[in-house]
Protein backbone atom coordinates (compact mmCIF):
# COMPACT_ATOMS: atom_id res chain seq x y z
CA UNK A 1 0.00 0.00 0.00
CA UNK A 2 2.85 2.37 0.84
CA UNK A 3 4.42 1.57 -2.53
CA UNK A 4 1.14 2.35 -4.31
CA UNK A 5 0.83 5.63 -2.46
CA UNK A 6 4.43 6.62 -3.28
CA UNK A 7 3.84 5.69 -6.91
CA UNK A 8 0.65 7.75 -7.02
CA UNK A 9 2.40 10.76 -5.46
CA UNK A 10 5.28 10.49 -7.94
CA UNK A 11 2.83 10.11 -10.81
CA UNK A 12 0.80 13.12 -9.62
CA UNK A 13 3.95 15.25 -9.29
CA UNK A 14 5.08 14.18 -12.75
CA UNK A 15 1.64 14.88 -14.23
CA UNK A 16 1.58 18.31 -12.56
CA UNK A 17 4.98 19.19 -13.97
CA UNK A 18 3.89 17.99 -17.39
CA UNK A 19 0.70 20.02 -17.14
CA UNK A 20 2.68 23.14 -16.23
CA UNK A 21 5.06 22.65 -19.16
CA UNK A 22 2.21 21.77 -21.46
CA UNK A 23 0.15 24.73 -20.35
CA UNK A 24 3.21 26.95 -20.85
CA UNK A 25 3.48 25.65 -24.40
CA UNK A 26 -0.23 26.14 -24.93
CA UNK A 27 -0.03 29.69 -23.65
CA UNK A 28 2.87 30.42 -25.94
CA UNK A 29 1.14 28.72 -28.85
CA UNK A 30 -2.09 30.56 -27.98
CA UNK A 31 -0.41 33.96 -28.26
CA UNK A 32 -1.50 35.62 -31.42
CA UNK A 33 1.58 36.67 -33.31
CA UNK A 34 0.99 39.58 -35.65
CA UNK A 35 1.07 38.83 -39.34
CA UNK A 36 4.13 39.84 -41.25
CA UNK A 37 4.09 43.55 -41.85
CA UNK A 38 2.69 44.72 -45.15
CA UNK A 39 4.03 48.28 -45.25
CA UNK A 40 7.29 50.10 -44.68
CA UNK A 41 8.06 52.85 -42.19
CA UNK A 42 8.76 55.15 -45.14
CA UNK A 43 5.25 54.50 -46.50
CA UNK A 44 3.66 55.27 -43.13
CA UNK A 45 5.73 58.46 -42.74
CA UNK A 46 4.78 59.64 -46.22
CA UNK A 47 1.19 58.61 -45.50
CA UNK A 48 1.07 60.86 -42.44
CA UNK A 49 1.90 63.86 -44.65
CA UNK A 50 -0.59 62.76 -47.33
CA UNK A 51 -3.26 62.24 -44.67
CA UNK A 52 -2.65 65.74 -43.25
CA UNK A 53 -2.98 67.23 -46.72
CA UNK A 54 -5.95 65.26 -48.07
CA UNK A 55 -7.87 63.63 -45.19
CA UNK A 56 -7.44 65.48 -41.89
CA UNK A 57 -9.87 68.27 -42.73
CA UNK A 58 -12.76 65.78 -42.61
CA UNK A 59 -11.45 62.84 -40.55
CA UNK A 60 -9.63 65.14 -38.06
CA UNK A 61 -5.85 65.35 -37.54
CA UNK A 62 -5.98 62.57 -34.93
CA UNK A 63 -8.10 60.31 -37.20
CA UNK A 64 -10.98 60.50 -34.71
CA UNK A 65 -13.61 61.62 -37.23
CA UNK A 66 -16.60 63.58 -36.01
CA UNK A 67 -20.33 62.98 -35.73
CA UNK A 68 -20.82 62.55 -39.47
CA UNK A 69 -17.38 61.46 -40.63
CA UNK A 70 -16.10 58.05 -39.58
CA UNK A 71 -13.06 57.58 -37.39
CA UNK A 72 -10.00 56.04 -39.02
CA UNK A 73 -8.45 54.91 -35.74
CA UNK A 74 -9.62 53.05 -32.69
CA UNK A 75 -12.38 50.58 -31.87
CA UNK A 76 -14.93 51.81 -34.40
CA UNK A 77 -12.41 51.58 -37.24
CA UNK A 78 -11.37 48.10 -36.16
CA UNK A 79 -14.97 46.97 -35.79
CA UNK A 80 -15.67 48.04 -39.36
CA UNK A 81 -12.39 47.23 -41.07
CA UNK A 82 -10.69 44.62 -38.85
CA UNK A 83 -12.35 41.64 -40.58
CA UNK A 84 -11.76 43.12 -44.03
CA UNK A 85 -8.55 43.13 -46.04
CA UNK A 86 -6.05 45.83 -46.80
CA UNK A 87 -7.10 45.58 -50.45
CA UNK A 88 -10.75 46.18 -49.58
CA UNK A 89 -9.77 49.26 -47.58
CA UNK A 90 -7.44 50.52 -50.31
CA UNK A 91 -10.10 49.92 -52.99
CA UNK A 92 -12.69 51.81 -50.94
CA UNK A 93 -10.59 54.88 -50.22
CA UNK A 94 -9.17 55.05 -53.74
CA UNK A 95 -12.69 54.93 -55.21
CA UNK A 96 -14.38 57.28 -52.74
CA UNK A 97 -11.85 59.62 -51.10
CA UNK A 98 -11.39 62.50 -50.89
CA UNK A 99 -15.16 62.58 -50.75
CA UNK A 100 -16.66 63.45 -54.12
CA UNK A 101 -13.32 63.65 -55.87
CA UNK A 102 -11.09 60.58 -55.58
CA UNK A 103 -8.04 62.03 -57.26
CA UNK A 104 -4.86 60.87 -55.56
CA UNK A 105 -2.16 58.65 -57.00
CA UNK A 106 -1.97 54.94 -56.22
CA UNK A 107 1.18 55.70 -54.25
CA UNK A 108 -0.61 58.32 -52.13
CA UNK A 109 -3.46 55.91 -51.34
CA UNK A 110 -1.02 53.15 -50.33
CA UNK A 111 0.89 55.60 -48.12
CA UNK A 112 -2.30 56.81 -46.44
CA UNK A 113 -3.37 53.20 -45.91
CA UNK A 114 0.02 52.43 -44.32
CA UNK A 115 -0.31 55.42 -42.00
CA UNK A 116 -3.82 54.43 -40.94
CA UNK A 117 -2.70 50.84 -40.30
CA UNK A 118 0.24 52.07 -38.23
CA UNK A 119 -1.98 54.41 -36.22
CA UNK A 120 -4.18 51.43 -35.38
CA UNK A 121 -1.28 49.34 -34.05
CA UNK A 122 0.24 47.61 -37.09
CA UNK A 123 4.03 47.55 -37.25
CA UNK A 124 6.09 48.60 -40.24
CA UNK A 125 8.50 46.15 -41.78
CA UNK A 126 10.46 45.44 -44.94
CA UNK A 127 7.57 44.67 -47.30
CA UNK A 128 5.97 47.55 -49.15
CA UNK A 129 2.20 47.84 -49.32
CA UNK A 130 0.76 47.65 -52.81
CA UNK A 131 -2.68 48.13 -54.28
CA UNK A 132 -3.08 44.34 -54.58
CA UNK A 133 -1.93 43.49 -51.03
CA UNK A 134 -4.81 41.63 -49.41
CA UNK A 135 -4.41 40.60 -45.78
CA UNK A 136 -6.97 40.85 -42.97
CA UNK A 137 -6.50 44.19 -41.22
CA UNK A 138 -7.26 42.77 -37.78
CA UNK A 139 -4.42 40.27 -38.14
CA UNK A 140 -1.88 43.06 -38.61
CA UNK A 141 -2.37 44.67 -35.24
CA UNK A 142 0.53 43.94 -32.94
CA UNK A 143 -0.52 46.23 -30.13
CA UNK A 144 -3.18 48.48 -28.78
CA UNK A 145 -2.95 51.75 -30.70
CA UNK A 146 -1.58 54.75 -28.86
CA UNK A 147 -4.34 56.26 -26.76
CA UNK A 148 -6.40 53.07 -27.14
CA UNK A 149 -7.80 50.87 -24.37
**Residues 23, 20: Cα–Cα separation, whole Å:** 5
Residue spans per domain, the chain: 1-31, 41-140
Predicted TM-score of the model (pTM): 0.73
- Give tens-digit pLDDT for 55-106: 999 999 999 998 899 999 999 999 999 999 999 999 999 999 998 888 999 9
Give the pLDDT score at 142. 75
**Per-residue confidence band for 53, with pLDDT thresholds at 50, 70 and 90:** very high
> What does the longest C-alpha to C-alpha distance in the chain come to?
86
Superfamily of domain 41-140: Cytochrome c-like domain (1.10.760.10)
Give the pLDDT score at 20. 33
Amino acid sequence: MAMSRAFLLAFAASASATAIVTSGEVLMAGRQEPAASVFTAAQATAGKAQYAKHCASCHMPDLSGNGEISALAGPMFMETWGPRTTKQFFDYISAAMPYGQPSLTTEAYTEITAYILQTNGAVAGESALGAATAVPIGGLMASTPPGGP
